[in-house]
Amino acid sequence: MPKRYDESKTGALDALHVENRVFRPDPQTVIEANVTPDDLEAALALAAADPLAYWERAAEELEWHRRWERVLDDDDPPRFRWFAGGRVNIAHNALDRHARSGNKNRLALIWEGEAGDCRKFTYYELFREVNRLANAFRSLGLVRGDRVTLYMPPLPETLIAMLAAAKVGASHSLVFAGFSARFLRQRINDARSKILVTADGFYRGGRVIPLKPVVDDALHGVHGGCAETVLVVPRVGIDVEMTAPRDLFYHDVVRRESAEAACAAMESDDELFVLFTSGTTGRPKAVAHAHGGFMVGVHHTFREVFDVKPTDIYFCTADPGWITGHAYGIYGPLLAGATSIMYEGHPLYPQADRLWSMVARHGVTALYTTPTLLRLLMRYGPQYPKKHDLSTLRILGSVGEPIGAETWLWLHKHIGRSRCPVLDTWWQTETGMMMISPLPISPLKPGSVGKPLPGIAADVVDAAGNSLPPGKGGFLVIKKPWPGMFKEPTEDMGEARACLSDYWNRIPGMYFAGDMAHRDEDGYYFIQGRADDVLNIAGRRMGTAELEAALLSHRGVAEAAVIGLPDRIKGQVAKAFVAPVPGYEAQFDGEDGLRADIARHVRRELGPIVAFKAIEFRESLPHTRSGKILRRALRDGELGVERDEGETLEDE
Ligand code: WTA
C-alpha cells in the first residue's frame, strides 16, 4: 500500500498535489500599485544585499521623536532590538500625525453595530476621543510601563482604549470577549493590570451578551493592586452592578477631561501590547510587541500588500482581540491614514449576506478575512453575494489557516468577480506582521501564500536546518530577524511570558514557526498546518495541553487526550478522548449525562469559544512505552491511516 505520510520522524507531509493554475494580475492594478513590478525587484535586491538598509528606509516613512542609533541591535540574540536608541510612539503616527495634517477630516473609522447602528469618526474626532481617555488614564494614576487589560467586544472604545494606553506609554492586553471569568482573572493577574476597561455587554447573533457579570466574577480573587479601577462602556444599556469606588462609567470619566494630550516619547523597544497565544509548549503565553518595530513592520506591509490608497475603504473582519485585529484591523489602517470598518456582530445576522451588504453599503474596496468565515458563508451559496453590488472591491485577503484551493476559487469568483487578487497572507501573533504573501501585482496560485515579502528570510528546512528542495515538506523557518518580531514581556509577567529561545533554539539560529510547508518549482509556498501540539480551530490557536488540562480538572475524568481533525468549515476541530473515572457515570444519567457535564465544565473553564466536535469515552488511552499518551495513534485511528506493523512506539 502506498504510504500517505512521509513517516520520517519530522512527520512532514510531502506535496500531494501540485497546483498548476496561475491567475495573472489585471494590467490596471499593476500600473496603479503602490509597489510596481520594478519597485518589487528593487526592494528584493536591496533587501537581499542589505536588509538593514531596507528596513531603515521603511522606518524613515514614519515620524520619530528621536532617530535611532542602530537599525538593529543584535548584541544579545535572540533578544534583537529594532531601531535601538530611537524614540517614538505608535499613537503619534497612527493619529496625531494625521490629525494635524491634510488627513484631519478624513474618516478613520466606520463602526457598524449588529443592529445596523453606525458611528463614524474622522481622524480629528478619534484623536480627541483618544486624548480624553489618555488624560483620564493619567488622572487614574496610570503611568508609563503599567498595563491595562481590555475585556472588550468590537466597539470604537476598544480602539480608543488601545491608542489611549499607547499614548500614555502603558501596554494593553486585550482579552477576547468570548473568554471565561477564569481566563480573564488569570490574564489580569498575569499582566498586573491596574485598570480594566470593559462594556456592559454587546450584541451578537441577535442576543445581548452580558460582559460585566463575567468581569465581576473574574475580579473575585485577583491579586492585590490589580484592576483597582474598572471602566464600563455602556453599549447595550442593561442594568449592571457597579461597585464603588472601583467601577466607573466610561463617559463619566472622560467627560471632564481635555481633548489635548501629549504622547509619551517611548523607547523604540518599549512594550506596546501583550497578547496571549498557544506557542510551542503548554498553556498560552504572553508575547509582547514594541512601539518601534511593530509600527514599522505593520505600516510597511499594510501598504505593500493591501496597496492601500487614500480613497480606500478597508474592512478587516477579525475581532480586535486577535493579532490580526491589532495589526491590520486597527494599527495598520490608522498608520496608513486609511478608512476602516469595524463590525460588532455575527456574520450571519440577520442572514448570510451581512458582509456583502456591508461591502455594498460602505463601498468597501479591500476586504481581509479568514478561511473559516468564508467556508461558513460558502455553505449558503453564491446567491447571497449575488444580491449585492460588490463592484467597489479591488483587493481580497485571507489569513489564519490554510485556505485551500476550493475556498480560494470561490472567493475569487463570487466575491472578486474573477478580477480582484486574492492574497493569502501567512504570519503569526509572534511575527507581528505579514511575512509570506503575494502582492496585488503577483501571479497567484490558488491555495498558495506566495513568496516571502522583501526583507523576510523564510525557508523550508529539515530537522537539522538544511534547506529542502521543491516538493519536499519541512519546517517553516525565518533565518534573519525582522522588525515586527515579538519580544518577551517585561519580567513582572513571570511564568506567563513566552520565551524567545523556545522559538530560536529548536533549530539553532533560526526562528521556528511551528508550521509545516513546502514550495513548488517556482518558489511558491504552501502551508500544510502545524507541526506542534497546537490546534488551529477556525483560525484560533489552542494548545492540546490546555484543552486536556481543562478536561482533567473535571472530577469524572481520569485521563484525557485531545487531537485535531480536519474539518471542511473550521479547518480543524478538536476531538477529545476521555478515560472516565470508573463508576463515575453512575452519578449522572449514564454516559451521555457525564459527557454533557464534561462539555459544560470545559466551556465554563475556557469560555464559549471552546467546543469539542466529539468526546469519546475509552476505558484507557494508548501510551508510548515511556508513558506519553499516543495522540498520533488516536488521530491515525480517526483518519483511517494504517500503521506499519511493528512500528515502534518509542519515538513518538
Ligand atoms: C496559521 C494569525 C495557512 C499558521 C495571523 C500560523 C496560516 C498560525 C495562515 C498563526 C495562512 C496563519 N495559511 N496557515 N495564510 N496564516 N496561519 O498567531 O499555522 O493566530 O502558525 O496569527 O495560523 O496564528 P495566529
CA 63 to chain centre: 26
The mean pLDDT value for 350-367 works out to: 98
6: pLDDT strictly greater than 70: no
The predicted pLDDT at position 8 comes to 37
What confidence category does residue 282 fall into, taking pLDDT thresholds of 50, 70 and 90?
low
Can you tell me the distance from the alpha carbon of 202 to that of 208, in angstroms, rounded to the nearest whole number?
6
483 secondary structure, DSSP code: T
Which one-letter amino acid corresponds to residue 222?
Answer: V
- Looking at per-residue pLDDT, the higher value among 511 and 570 belongs to 511
Residue whose entry in the numeric block shows the C-alpha cell 477556525: 538
Range with lowest mean pLDDT among 82-86, 116-120, 376-380: 376-380
- Percent above pLDDT 90 for the chain: 77
Last residue of a domain, one of 209, 234, 264: 264
- Percent above pLDDT 70 for the chain: 94
Residue closest by Cα to atom 15 of ligand 1: 426
The mean pLDDT value for 246-253 works out to: 98
Q: Are 585 and 157 in contact (CB under 8 A)?
A: no
Q: What is the CATH number of the domain that holds 227?
A: 3.40.50.980
As given in the structure block, the three cell numbers for residue 432 are 507581528
Ligand 1 in reach of 171 Cβ (< 6 A): no
CA of 381 to the centre of ligand 1 (A): 26
As given in the structure block, the three cell numbers for residue 467 are 534547506
Give the residue among 7, 19, 8 at the shortest CA–CA distance from 518. 19
Ligand 1 in reach of 424 Cβ (< 6 A): yes
Residue closest by Cα to atom 7 of ligand 1: 401
Asked if residue 195 is part of any domain, the answer here is yes
Q: Are 391 and 434 in contact (CB under 8 A)?
A: no
Can you tell me the distance from the alpha carbon of 93 to that of 97, in angstroms, rounded to the nearest whole number?
5
The predicted pLDDT at position 278 comes to 77
Ligand 1 in reach of 340 Cβ (< 6 A): no
Asked if residue 191 is part of any domain, the answer here is yes
650: pLDDT strictly greater than 60: no
What confidence category does residue 13 fall into, taking pLDDT thresholds of 50, 70 and 90?
low
Last residue of a domain, one of 239, 264, 289: 264
The mean pLDDT value for 15-40 works out to: 88
The predicted pLDDT at position 348 comes to 95
Give the pLDDT confidence of 160-205 residue by residue, as tens digits: 999 999 999 999 999 999 889 999 999 999 999 999 999 999 999 9
The predicted pLDDT at position 248 comes to 98
Can you tell me the distance from the alpha carbon of 15 to that of 3, in angstroms, rounded to the nearest whole number?
13
Asked if residue 626 is part of any domain, the answer here is yes
The predicted pLDDT at position 625 comes to 63
Q: Residue 571's beta-bridge partner residues? A: 567
326: pLDDT strictly greater than 60: yes
Q: What is the CATH number of the domain that holds 599?
A: 3.30.300.30
CA of 87 to the centre of ligand 1 (A): 31
632: pLDDT strictly greater than 60: yes
Asked if residue 120 is part of any domain, the answer here is yes
Q: What's the domain range around 549?
A: 533-639
3: pLDDT strictly greater than 50: no
CA of 531 to the centre of ligand 1 (A): 12
612 to 66, 190, 376, 401, 561: CA distances (angstroms): 51, 27, 18, 19, 12
Among 319, 422, 428, the mutation site with the greatest number of ligand 1 atoms within 8 A of its Cβ is 428
What confidence category does residue 645 fall into, taking pLDDT thresholds of 50, 70 and 90?
very low
Give the pLDDT confidence of 46-57 residue by residue, as tens digits: 999 999 999 999
The predicted pLDDT at position 589 comes to 83
Can you tell me the distance from the alpha carbon of 557 to that of 597, in angstroms, rounded to the nearest whole number?
11
According to DSSP, the β-strands at 511-519 and 474-478 are antiparallel
Is 0.90 exceeded by the ipTM? Answer: yes
Ligand 1 in reach of 514 Cβ (< 6 A): yes
Ligand 1 in reach of 513 Cβ (< 6 A): yes
Residue whose entry in the numeric block shows the C-alpha cell 472591491: 393
2: pLDDT strictly greater than 60: no
Residue whose entry in the numeric block shows the C-alpha cell 506493523: 645
Q: Which atom of ligand 1 is nearest to the CA of 527?
A: 3
Range with lowest mean pLDDT among 394-408, 470-484, 608-622: 608-622
Asked if residue 258 is part of any domain, the answer here is yes
Range with lowest mean pLDDT among 371-380, 420-429, 448-457: 371-380
The predicted pLDDT at position 10 comes to 39
Domain count, the chain: 2
The model's pTM is: 0.90
What confidence category does residue 316 fall into, taking pLDDT thresholds of 50, 70 and 90?
very high
450 secondary structure, DSSP code: B
Mean pLDDT of the chain: 92
The predicted pLDDT at position 626 comes to 60
Last residue of a domain, one of 235, 264, 293: 264
CA of 434 to the centre of ligand 1 (A): 10
Side-chain-facing half-sphere of 147: CA atoms under 13 Å: 26
Asked if residue 279 is part of any domain, the answer here is no
What confidence category does residue 11 fall into, taking pLDDT thresholds of 50, 70 and 90?
very low
The predicted pLDDT at position 4 comes to 34
Ligand 1 in reach of 325 Cβ (< 6 A): no
Angle of the 51-60 helix axis to the 37-49 helix axis, nearest 10: 120
SS3 state at 376: helix
Asked if residue 646 is part of any domain, the answer here is no
What confidence category does residue 16 fall into, taking pLDDT thresholds of 50, 70 and 90?
low
Q: Are 45 and 454 in contact (CB under 8 A)?
A: no
Asked if residue 132 is part of any domain, the answer here is yes
Ligand 1 in reach of 134 Cβ (< 6 A): no
The predicted pLDDT at position 374 comes to 94
- Looking at per-residue pLDDT, the higher value among 611 and 234 belongs to 234
Q: Which atom of ligand 1 is nearest to the CA of 430?
A: 18
